[in-house]
């Protein structure tokens, strides 16, 4: 969890109970019950420690994409560090699934104006799409000027990279986040229903919902 990032070190992670497998299987059971398919943005370090879990996700017909290797925010790394992280994570995921990784989502939506250099690197490394740019104004992340729906980046190379933004609703001249993680947990359900309905009626777009496995886990610390 990013909320604990300043209180734990990666070298200490092994001291804590490993909850990701049970929580992810809870999600898989839920999706199986409703015959729903999803994209699982997996950490490379999780794929390395839990390859059977990542294989289960792929075997159930879901896409497995990349969420970095160690959950480091993009703007805290140099371009070279980002490239190295970007190569480690898909390698671990592909070793587990034998399926090419096509998509990327940065931890905490950390591709910002100051870290847009990451887009070129993603394209150069062969990714097909990114889903890291949240078009809202927010303290730790966000690019409010970015398009709200699918678009294609203009890359210097001849590579093609698409952006699939997390969902937002337009209201009173602002983009408001909806249907994802803390917004699902904290905001009232009437807001989520209203926003999804407004997006469907006014924009004619499908709903894109996201959450973390830890958010469905019992007794979350």
**Given pLDDT bands bounded at 50, 70 and 90, which one contains residue 2?**
low
CATH number given to 2-167: 3.20.20.370
Does residue 3 have a pLDDT over 80? Answer: no
What CA–CA distance (Å, rounded) separates 123 from 114?
18
Domain boundaries defined on the chain: 2-167
Percent of the chain at pLDDT above 90?
80
Does residue 31 have a pLDDT over 80? Answer: yes
**Predicted confidence (pLDDT) per residue in 182-202, tens digit:** 899 999 999 999 999 999 999
CA distance readout (Å), 68 to 135, 146, 157: 21, 22, 22
**What letters, b where the CB count within 10 A reaches 16 and e where it falls short, cover 53-70?**
bbbbbbeeebbbbbbbbe
What are the residues facing 171 on neighbouring strands? 174
Across the chain, mean pLDDT equals 93
- pLDDT, residue 8, reads 77
Strand 162-163 versus strand 151-152 pairing type: antiparallel
């Amino acid at each position: 969890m990013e909320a604990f990032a300043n209180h734990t070190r990666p070298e200490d992670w092994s001291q804590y109970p490993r909850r990701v497998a049970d929580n992810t299987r809870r999600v898989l059971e839920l999706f199986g019950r409703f015959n729903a398919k999803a994209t699982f943005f997996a950490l490379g370090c999780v794929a390395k420690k839990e390859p059977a879990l990542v294989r289960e996700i792929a075997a159930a017909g879901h896409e497995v994409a990349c969420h970095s290797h160690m959950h480091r925010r993009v703007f805290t790394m140099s371009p070279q560090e980002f490239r190295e992280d970007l190569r480690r994570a898909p390698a671990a995921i592909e070793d587990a699934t034998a399926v090419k990784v096509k998509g990327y989502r940065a931890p905490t939506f950390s591709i910002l104006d100051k870290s847009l250099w990451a887009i070129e690197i993603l394209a150069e490394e062969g990714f097909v799409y990114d889903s890291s740019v949240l078009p809202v104004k927010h303290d730790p992340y966000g690019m409010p000027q970015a398009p709200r729906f699918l678009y294609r980046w203009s890359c210097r190379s001849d590579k093609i990279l698409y952006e699939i933004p997390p969902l937002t609703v337009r209201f009173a001249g602002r983009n408001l986040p909806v249907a994802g993680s803390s917004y699902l947990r904290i905001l009232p359900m009437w807001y989520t229903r209203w926003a999804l309905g407004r997006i469907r009626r006014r924009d004619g777009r499908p709903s894109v919902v996201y959450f973390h496995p830890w958010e469905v886990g019992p007794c979350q610390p």
